[in-house]
Amino acid sequence: MKDIKDFISDKSKIVDSSGIRKVFDLALKIKDPINLSIGQPDFDIPDTIKEEAIKAINNGLNKYTVTQGIEPLREKVIEFVNRKRGTKYTVDECMITSGVSGGLTLALLAILNPGDEVVFFDPYFVMYKHLTNLFGGKPVIVDTYPDFSLSNKKKSIEAAITEKTKAIIINSPANPTGKVLTKEDIETIYEIAKKYDLLVISDEIYDEFIYDGKFFSISSIYPEKTILLGGFSKTYAMTGWRIGYALGPKEIIKEMIKLQQYTFVCAPSFAQYAALKALDVDMSEYILAYKEKRDIVYEGLKENFNIVKPEGAFYIFPSPKNLRIPPKEFVEECVKEGILIIPGDVFSERNTHFRLSFAADNRTIERGIEKINSLYKKFSA
């Protein structure tokens, strides 16, 4: 007789449970944790957006929408993106997805054949590696330590390209580092993608969380072979509503829409109508508050930790300067003390750093910094 585990597919077995989710689960068991692990805003969805969702529900807009998303939202997304990025997308180059995660899933499903290689950069968002593996591709990971820049890694990136390379994934502002790719970084990727005739998947979910410098999208210079992924989860705190968008070459978007028919079916209906309203809401006050949070955590940790100051998103990726114990053990000690942070190897081939999310109230951040520094002094060399 077969053991029940024998029924689990080999594909499922190659994907490890998310280290982030493990910490989330742990948070449920700890009394009064200092939770600096969660990658979602600490503010609630603005009332005007919630009211629009309630209105949609009460008006009976609860059924399936067309798979590609309601046309008014697609048109508004196009107007928003074109204005922000200087692009010229049209309605047949846009679809509404179940979050950026849904968009990434559909994009990789649409482009990958077995053995195709996908290049992305270490540190990386966890899904890039696991989804590439799940869909039969091969992750090719290029190290960007210590400063997480790409313009000075051109030789390393080119060395990673083979005849099997299908796409490059970039993420700016980045999870877990908060790095915002400069124009020079983006131009480096553009030159390589153009030279080797590659697709670029550009994950831009944190595009409104910019604290220093300017946001520059590769879609503005390489629209013909860029799949741009964006959404509403972070900017408007709509994480649980699962609403995003994908823009790109209409042939690829058409395939992604087809695949959505057999996976997500459509993005949540009420959330699509609420997203129409969201694009009119000014979130600059919230972003300014997050810049203050960034400054609090950076100034609070920089003495004892090596840190590249995050220019966007709401993460910081420090490494201890001098410890008597390995960095991973330091993270474990923090977690034992109720300080929930994520070990660096969840996002990296290295295990020298940890991710801290400052998407928390200022008092929680300050308590976390105090306890992390206290533990650092306990274990410093």
3-class secondary structure, 265: coil
Write down the pLDDT at residue 27: 61
Whether residues 363 and 329 share a domain: the answer is: yes
Residue 22: CATH number of its domain: 3.90.1150.10
3-class secondary structure, 201: strand
Whether residues 8 and 107 share a domain: the answer is: no
Average of per-residue pLDDT across 110-129? 97
Asked, for residue 313, whether it belongs to a domain, the answer is yes
Give the span between the Cα atoms of 294 and 297, in whole angstroms: 5
Q: Which residues pair with 94 in a beta bridge?
A: 247
Structure tokens at 347: 């996002």
pLDDT exceeds cutoff 80 at 231 = yes
Closest-CA residue to 355 (of 225, 186, 175, 153): 175
pLDDT exceeds cutoff 90 at 168 = yes
CB 370 within 8 A of CB 311: no
Whether residues 116 and 31 share a domain: the answer is: no
pLDDT exceeds cutoff 60 at 235 = yes
Whether residues 40 and 75 share a domain: the answer is: no
Asked, for residue 53, whether it belongs to a domain, the answer is no
Count of domains for the chain? 2
Write down the pLDDT at residue 22: 63
Q: What are 247-266's pLDDT values in tens digits?
A: 999 999 999 999 999 999 99
Write down the pLDDT at residue 283: 97
Asked, for residue 129, whether it belongs to a domain, the answer is yes
What is the percentage of the chain residues whose pLDDT exceeds 70?
Answer: 97
Whether residues 270 and 299 share a domain: the answer is: no
Write down the pLDDT at residue 17: 65
Asked, for residue 52, whether it belongs to a domain, the answer is no
Write down the pLDDT at residue 5: 85
CB 257 within 8 A of CB 67: yes
Task: Record the pTM.
Answer: 0.95
- Region class of 264: left (phi > 0), else alpha (psi between -120 and 50), else beta: alpha
Q: Which among 278, 296, 314 is the end of a domain?
A: 278
Q: Which among 209, 243, 278 is the end of a domain?
A: 278
Whether residues 128 and 196 share a domain: the answer is: yes
Query: For the purposes of burial, counting CB atoms within 10 Å of the CB of 234, is it exposed (0-12), middle (13-18) or buried (19 or more)?
Result: buried
Q: What are 133-162's pLDDT values in tens digits?
A: 999 999 999 999 999 999 999 999 999 999
Whether residues 249 and 289 share a domain: the answer is: no
Q: How far is CA 362 from CA 233, 294, 365, 369, in A?
A: 21, 10, 5, 11
Asked, for residue 302, whether it belongs to a domain, the answer is yes
Whether residues 218 and 356 share a domain: the answer is: no
Whether residues 218 and 124 share a domain: the answer is: yes
Asked, for residue 84, whether it belongs to a domain, the answer is yes
Average of per-residue pLDDT across 266-277? 98
Whether residues 79 and 196 share a domain: the answer is: yes
Angle between helix 250-261 and helix 99-111 axes, rounded to 10 deg: 110
Write down the pLDDT at residue 50: 98
Structure tokens at 40: 């979602």
Whether residues 340 and 268 share a domain: the answer is: no
Whether residues 272 and 287 share a domain: the answer is: no
Residue 254: CATH number of its domain: 3.40.640.10
Structure tokens at 95: 């679809």
Average of per-residue pLDDT across 190-207? 98
Q: What are 335-372's pLDDT values in tens digits?
A: 989 999 999 999 999 999 999 999 999 999 999 999 99
Residue 340, domain extent: 4-45+283-379
Asked, for residue 51, whether it belongs to a domain, the answer is no
Q: What are 73-119's pLDDT values in tens digits?
A: 999 999 999 999 999 999 999 999 999 999 999 999 999 999 999 99
Structure tokens at 81: 């993106």
Q: Which among 254, 278, 302 is the end of a domain?
A: 278
Q: What are 10-45's pLDDT values in tens digits?
A: 888 887 765 565 665 666 677 789 999 989 999 999
Q: How far is CA 73 from CA 41, 66, 230, 232, in A?
A: 23, 12, 13, 12
Alpha helix segments (H runs only) across 30-137:
47-58, 71-85, 99-111, 126-134
Asked, for residue 50, whether it belongs to a domain, the answer is no
Helix (H) or strand (E) holding 294: helix 284-301
Angle between helix 99-111 and helix 126-134 axes, rounded to 10 deg: 40
